[in-house]
Amino acid sequence: MLQIKNIAKKYVTGDLTQTALDNVSLNFRDNEFVAVLGPSGSGKTTLLNIVGGLDRYDDGDLVINSISTKKYKDRDWDAYRNHTIGFVFQSYNLIPHQSVLSNVELALTISGISKSERKRRAKDALGKVGLGDQLHKRPNQMSGGQMQRVAIARALVNDPDILLADEPTGALDSETSVQVMELLKEVAKDRLVIMVTHNPELADEYANRIVKLKDGKIINDSNPFDIDNSTVATPEHKKMGKTSMSFLTALSLSLNNLKTKKARTILTAFAGSIGIIGIALILALSNGVNAYIDNIQKDTLSTYPISIAKESIDMTSMMSSMMSSNNKDGISHDLDKV
């Protein structure tokens, strides 16, 4: 059960303060299809991002299964997104050089799941969205509707409690939009689906609850869900789970990425080699010039040697000579006066 309690969010740019959400409160059932409608700038996407942990609220609380997120740190938010939330975006956000199977499997890599289990789950998820026979295609070989199905499969492969869809039909034609909406409606039978859309016709036809926003406030809720707070446990701060990727998995992904981008890898290696060779050449020339200068100096000094002789000076005789000379000068001066 998801609860949004008095959520407030503001964006400050210089002297301008934009209120995205103004004391919004909503309770969601465990399995329902909720469509969020409203004009641009009404706070729809901000609400979706806060529920998904992509943005932070300024005030209020987000409670999921009696777990408060007030004290969440970055690692807690990562675990929340990984174990509880599935995302479906308008632009699909698929990796173009990876296969369909790899794109879906990628969502499981930070969950510490073995490679064989990841592949099995990814195949099952693609089978549920009707793409079980197109596992090895790449996104650029598929239509917009098929890519959106891949995105939905990727969002469902972790079996999340909540599926968030941001304009999932915005880039699709009418016929494909209907197919995607039918799929989301089917998904909503056993989990919560929250969809942001500008299309009220699709919302009226497929969603069983419509929430309308305007200027950061809820102006209408077609099927509100009221909770008796006396029967609900007090929200506590708990961890949603761990997010980890083994060293071997990270290394495997890196090597796979290098393989799929062979031309880029070769060019990068070539450019790096030129840089290393250039630095080595400059250091070699510098050392060679310094050695040459040292040799020239040694040869020059050996041709014209400098002799240093040691002499002693008798300071006593020198002082005596100076004193006797001064006495003679004094006597001569006195005789001149006489």
Side chain identity, residue 118: R
Q: Please provide the average confidence, as pLDDT, over all residues in the chain.
A: 83
pLDDT given for residue 107 in this prediction: 77
State the DSSP string of 272-325: HHHHHHHHHHHHHHHHHHHHHHHHHHHHHHHHS----------HHHHHHHHHHH
Q: Are strands 217-221 and 209-214 parallel, antiparallel or unpaired?
A: antiparallel
Given a cut of 70, whether residue 328 has pLDDT beyond it is no
Tell me the range of 84-93, 225-234, 237-246 where mean pLDDT is highest. Answer: 84-93
pLDDT in tens, 177-220: 888 899 999 989 889 999 998 888 988 999 999 999 999 999 99
Q: Can you tell me the mean pLDDT for 154-165?
A: 90
Which distant-in-sequence residues (6+ apart) come within 8 Å of 167 by Cβ? 90, 196, 197, 198
Asked if residue 163 lies in contact with residue 193, where contact means CB atoms within 8 angstroms, the answer is yes
> 27 forms bridges with which residues in the sheet?
3
CATH 3.40.50.800 fits 2-246, yes or no: no
pLDDT in tens, 255-268: 776 776 777 778 88
Side chain identity, residue 267: L
Side chain identity, residue 143: S
Given a cut of 50, whether residue 335 has pLDDT beyond it is no
Q: Can you tell me the mean pLDDT for 278-297?
A: 89
Tokens of residue 234, six digits: 């007090």
**pLDDT bracket for residue 326 (50, 70, 90):** low
**pLDDT bracket for residue 227 (50, 70, 90):** confident
pLDDT given for residue 140 in this prediction: 87
Answer with the residue of higher pLDDT: 327 or 49. 49
**pLDDT bracket for residue 249 (50, 70, 90):** low
Given a cut of 80, whether residue 314 has pLDDT beyond it is no
Which distant-in-sequence residues (6+ apart) come within 8 Å of 207 by Cβ? 33, 34, 35, 195
Q: What is the dihedral of CA 176, 181, 184, 186, to 10 degrees?
A: -100
pLDDT in tens, 56-93: 999 999 988 888 888 888 888 888 888 889 999 888 88
pLDDT given for residue 247 in this prediction: 63
**pTM: predicted TM-score of the whole model, two decimal places:** 0.71
Report, in this order, helix, strand and coil percent for the chain, each rounded to 5.
50, 20, 35
Given a cut of 50, whether residue 24 has pLDDT beyond it is yes
Q: Can you tell me the mean pLDDT for 227-240?
A: 62
Distance CA 324, CA 29 (A): 122
Q: Can you give 127-188 as a three-state secondary structure string? A: HHCCCCCCCCCCHHHCCHHHHHHHHHHHHHCCCCCEEEEECCCCCCCHHHHHHHHHHHHHHC
The total number of residues shown for the chain amounts to: 338
Asked if residue 152 lies in contact with residue 104, where contact means CB atoms within 8 angstroms, the answer is no
Query: Strands across the sheet with 85-88, in order?
Result: 85-88, 162-166, 192-196, 32-37, 209-214, 217-221
